Amino acid sequence: MSTLRTAALVGNPNSGKSALFNALTGARQKIANYPGVTVERKAGRLVLPSGEVVELIDLPGSYSLDPSSPDEEVTRSVVEGNFAGEAVPDVLVVVIDAANLEQHLVFAQELIGLGRPTVIALNMIDLAERDGLVIDPAALSDALGVPVVPTVAVRKRGLGVLLDQLETAGSQDMSARHQVARLTMPERRLAARNIAKGAIVSESSVHQLHAKLDKVLLHPWLGPVILFGLLFVIFQAVFAWATPFADALDAGISALIDLARAILPEGIIRDLVTEGILTGVGSVVVFLPQIVILFAFILAMEQSGYMARAAFIMDRLMAYVGLSGRSFIPLLSSFACAIPGIMATRSISDPKDRLTTILIAPMMTCSARLPVYAVIIAAFIPATSVGPGIGLQGLVMFALYIAGIVGAMVVALVLRRTATKGAASGFIMEMPRYQWPPLRDLAIGLWQRAWVFLRRAGTIIFMATIVLWLLLSFPKAEIGESQVDASFAGKIADGLHVVMEPIGFNREISLALIPAMAAREVAVSALATTYAVNAEDDDAAAEGLIPQLRAEWTLPTALAFLAWFVFAPQCLSTIAVARRETNGWKWPAFMLAYLFGLAYIFAGLTYWSAVALGL
Ligand SMILES: Nc1nc2c(ncn2[C@@H]2O[C@H](COP(=O)(O)OP(=O)(O)OP(=O)(O)O)[C@@H](O)[C@H]2O)c(=O)[nH]1
Ligand SMILES: [Mg+2]
């Protein structure tokens, strides 16, 4: 039982609670410029000027204490002290957006009305100033009866004063609070308008540029064209810009392998290090530059406010398949990884909308597929240009991403008429303001992404590679027999190959699919290790994965392999999260079955069409 005082950050979505949480506790919670980023309660610690340690809780944004979605339910239960194992927070830090004063004061009053020690963080004061708003915090404080501290969470401005107020919050005068508590919703709205009016000293309209920007970016047909154009550019960049860095990494790994060969005595250990660890893990690590480039774009789009516009543009498209734009943000998060994507569905209020979104999230191309796609594309798709500045490789990558999206939309359409039948719910999302992505946040975000990727390489991929190498290396082959044929892994692969052969998969692919259930990238490291073990001598092994793929695979097989990865639910953690979020095995089992079914069918169709076309 902790005896620390607790303070909870509450307020409307996108007011900067998590940014403030990070600034106060040194944590690295995800922040992004659209509502609904935080979906769970998160705790951290901060130290007051007196030396007292306080537990700070970051909460999902909410519009009222009357929850309309699972994430808002978390906020209410924490604030009201009903959250399992947790007492009522001692202090509420209500975070409001200075440039959206009127809207944010509605919920703020409801919170003040609870009659608990409360401090208001008047956040984003910098954006209010940029937009030509001058606000008088003292007037606001008088009207609300609680301390108001202007802050800029992302620049750590105003934090000292905020901490001082937290220190003394326990001795606040509560006498005026009961008046606020009795207000009805319409009365609160009216009061919010009046209080905001009274606190705004001056206002000039410099919104014009942003309004013009919205006219273009949200235009009925120009908007989608710009969005798809942008996605297109992103995938071109992923290939074009990454090459020099990837080549350098590749050269570094080859040098390491040569070094290991030179210093280690011939034997099992040397083989494990060169064929297993360095070849396997290295084959995935070379994709770091592409991952970083992809995320640089995603983070910039999130922070600038464009992502919410993209959701708005997609809303119409999503309505056709029975989903709302609300699903867009979780689906978009799934491009990084389906796990946070599925968790982000907590901000969807309609349960059937939410379930459908969970079920299709794994079809969004997560970043773990990037190495798989990239290695096959590099091996089989020529690096030619199909137009000014348009490379064929980037185009194929773009097509694979689109295939996932189209597949997901078709499945949603079918599900919404069958398993998760229901009408599409309306879309209400406030558009965040545009702003330049803070460079520091961008750098931190990229660093985190790169670290997640490298950590996977160092843990899951490392372990899977070692296990696979052992299974591939024993029992030892007789003279004249291939090592893979003789090995345990070879026997396992032979079994699975019977099922996979009709869709053009060879034995190495069949084998790689098994460890890839742990993480998709393992498919690449598994292939690299298998070919390295099978190579006749060190020189053949040193050639690298891509020449070996070219030598061993036909083009139809390579294309079928890509099609498989568009659909296959190749990652157990996703299934586990789906189980947690749907409270049972029914839906994850359904997800597993339909995704494997689609993967098999589409890989097969791709293979047979390619063979028929004589590719
Ligand atoms: N300019 C400026 N931007 C800010 C400030 N505080 C937060 N932001 C930005 O506002 C956006 C939203 O911040 P978050 O901390 O994710 O907001 P939140 O309240 O946690 O949002 P939810 O988790 O969705 O409820 C991010 O893009 C931040 O970089 C601020 O004081 N000034
Ligand atoms: Mg947040």
Which numbered atom of ligand 1 lies nearest the CA of 19? 15
pLDDT at site 425: 64
Tell me, using a 6 A CB cutoff, whether residue 305 lines ligand 1: no
Q: Is the CB of 271 under 6 A from ligand 1?
A: no
Looking at residue 96, what is its pLDDT? Answer: 97
Q: Which listed ligand is nearest to 98 at the C-alpha?
A: 1
Task: Give the mean pLDDT of the chain.
Answer: 89
CA gap 355, 7 in Å, rounded: 33
Say whether the peptide bond before residue 475 is cis (omega within 30 degrees of 0): yes
Alpha carbons 234 and 294: distance in angstroms, whole number: 7
- Tell me the C-alpha distance between 112 and 55, whole Å: 20
Domain with CATH 3.40.50.300 in the chain: 6-203
Cα separations in angstroms, 248 against 103, 245, 285: 52, 5, 12
At 465 the three-state DSSP class reads: helix
Residue (of 239, 246, 287, 283) closest to 542 by Cα position = 283
Q: Tell me 45's DSSP state.
A: E
CA of residue 28 to ligand 1 center, whole Å: 13
Average pLDDT over residues 275-285: 87
The helix or strand, by DSSP H or E, that contains position 491, with its residue range, turns out to be: helix 488-500
The ligand whose atoms approach the alpha carbon of 444 most closely is 1
pTM (predicted TM-score): 0.83
Residue 33 alpha carbon to ligand 1 centre in Å: 6
Give the pLDDT band of residue 592 (cuts 50, 70, 90). Answer: very high
Q: At residue 148, what are phi and psi to the nearest 5 degrees? A: -125, 125
Residue 386 has pLDDT above 90, yes or no: no
Sign of CA dihedral 605, 519, 367, 352: positive
CA distance 58 to 10: 7
Q: What tokens were used for 355?
A: 């379930």
Q: Looking at residue 549, what is its pLDDT? A: 93
CB-neighbour burial class of residue 529 (10 A; exposed 0-12, middle 13-18, buried 19+): buried
How do beta strands 148-150 and 133-135 pair? unpaired
Per DSSP, the chain holds a count of helices (H) and strands (E) of 31, 10
Q: Could you give the CA distance from residue 553 to residue 484 in angstroms, rounded to a whole number?
A: 16
Query: Does 2 score more than 90 pLDDT?
Result: no
Angle, vertex CA 127, rays to CA 123 and CA 128, nearest 5 = 80
Cα(41) to ligand 2 centroid in Å equals 9
Rounded mean pLDDT, 273-294: 88
- Write out the residues surrounding ion ligand 2, Cβ under 5 A: 17-18, 37-38
What ligand 1 atom has the least distance to the C-alpha of 36?
24
- Euclidean distance between CA atoms 243 and 286, whole angstroms: 10
Question: Can you give the pLDDT at residue 308?
Answer: 87
Give the pair of three-digit tokens for residue 291.
């991952």
State residue 123's pLDDT score.
Answer: 97
- pLDDT band, residue 223 (cuts 50/70/90): very high
Beta bridge mates, 42: 58
Centre of ligand 2 to C-alpha 204, Å, is 29
Per-residue pLDDT, 335 = 86
Query: pLDDT of 83-102, one tens digit each?
Result: 888 889 999 999 999 988 99
**In the predicted structure, residue 405 carries a pLDDT above the cut 50:** yes
How much is the pLDDT for 178? 63
Residue type, 177: R
Tell me the percentage of the chain whose pLDDT exceeds 70.
96
Report long-range pairs for 540-546 (Cβ below 8 Å, ≥24 apart): 541/274, 541/275, 541/279, 542/254, 542/257, 542/258, 544/250, 544/254, 545/279, 545/283, 545/375, 545/379, 546/375, 546/378, 546/379
User: Among the CATH numbers 3.40.50.300, 3.40.50.620, 2.30.30.190, 3.90.230.10, which is that of 6-203?
Assistant: 3.40.50.300
Question: Where does 51-180 show beta strands of DSSP type E?
Answer: 53-58, 91-97, 118-123, 133-135, 148-150
Digit-coded pLDDT (tens) for 133-192: 899 999 999 999 999 999 999 999 999 999 999 999 888 877 767 667 778 888 889 999
Which ligand has the nearest atom to the CA of 35? 1
Atom 32 of ligand 1 has which residue's CA nearest to it?
Answer: 124
> Looking at residues 270-297, what average pLDDT do you find?
89
Distance separating alpha carbons of residues 24 and 162, to the nearest angstrom = 10
Report whether residue 56 contacts ligand 1, using a CB cutoff of 6 Å.
Answer: no
The answer to whether the CB of 380 falls within 8 A of the CB of 336 is no
Mean per-residue pLDDT, 440-455: 89
pLDDT at 360: 95
> CA-based Rg of the chain, rounded to a whole angstrom?
27
Distance between Cα 22 and ligand 1 center (Å): 11
- In short, whether 35's Cβ falls inside 6 Å of ligand 1 is yes
Q: Residue 427's pLDDT is what?
A: 61
The answer, yes or no, to whether any atom of ligand 1 lies below 6 A from the CB of 346, is no
Q: Is the pLDDT of residue 482 over 90?
A: no
- Which ligand sits closest to the CA of 75? 1
SS3 at position 161: helix
Q: Quick check: 485 pLDDT over 90?
A: no
For ligand 1, atom 8, name the residue with the nearest CA.
Answer: 16
Does pLDDT of 208 surpass 80?
no
By the 8 A CB rule, do 115 and 178 touch?
yes
Q: Does any ligand 1 atom lie closer than 6 A to the CB of residue 38?
A: yes
For residues 363 and 408, the answer to whether their CB atoms sit within 8 Å is yes
Give the pLDDT confidence of 458-477 residue by residue, as tens digits. 888 888 889 988 998 888 88
Question: Probe ligand 1: pick from 129, 131, 154, 155, max atoms within 8 Å of CB?
Answer: 154
| Ligand 1 atom at minimal distance to the Cα of residue 125 | 31
3-state SS, one letter per residue, for 506-566: CHHHHHHHCHHHCCCCHHHHHHHHHHHHHCCCHHHHHCCHHHHHHHHCCHHHHHHHHHHHH
Mean of pLDDT values over 305-323: 85
**Does residue 152 line the site of ligand 1, with CB under 6 A?**
yes
Tell whether ligand 1 has an atom less than 6 A from the beta carbon of residue 19: yes
Residue 537, CA atoms < 13 Å, CB-side half-sphere: 1
Residues 526-570 have pLDDT tens digits of 999 888 888 777 676 667 889 999 999 999 999 999 999 999 987
Helices in 418-461 by DSSP H: which ranges?
439-456
Residue 100 in contact with ligand 1 by CB distance below 6 A: no
Distance, CA of 198 to CA of 175 (rounded, Å) = 22
Strand order in the sheet with 42-47: 42-47, 53-58, 5-11, 91-97, 118-123, 148-150
pLDDT at residue 329, rounded to an integer: 82
**Cα 329 to averaged position of ligand 2 atoms, centre (Å):** 14
Query: Cα(311) to centroid of ligand 2, in Å?
Result: 18
Tell me what pLDDT residue 1 has.
43
Return the residue matching tokens 């516009």. Answer: 309
Q: Buried b vs exposed e over 563-597: b needs ≥16 C-beta within 10 Å?
A: bbbbbbbbbeebbebbbebbeeeebbeebbebbee
CA distance 408 to 405: 5
Residue nearest to atom 23 of ligand 1 (CA): 38
- Residue 203 or residue 435, greater confidence: 435
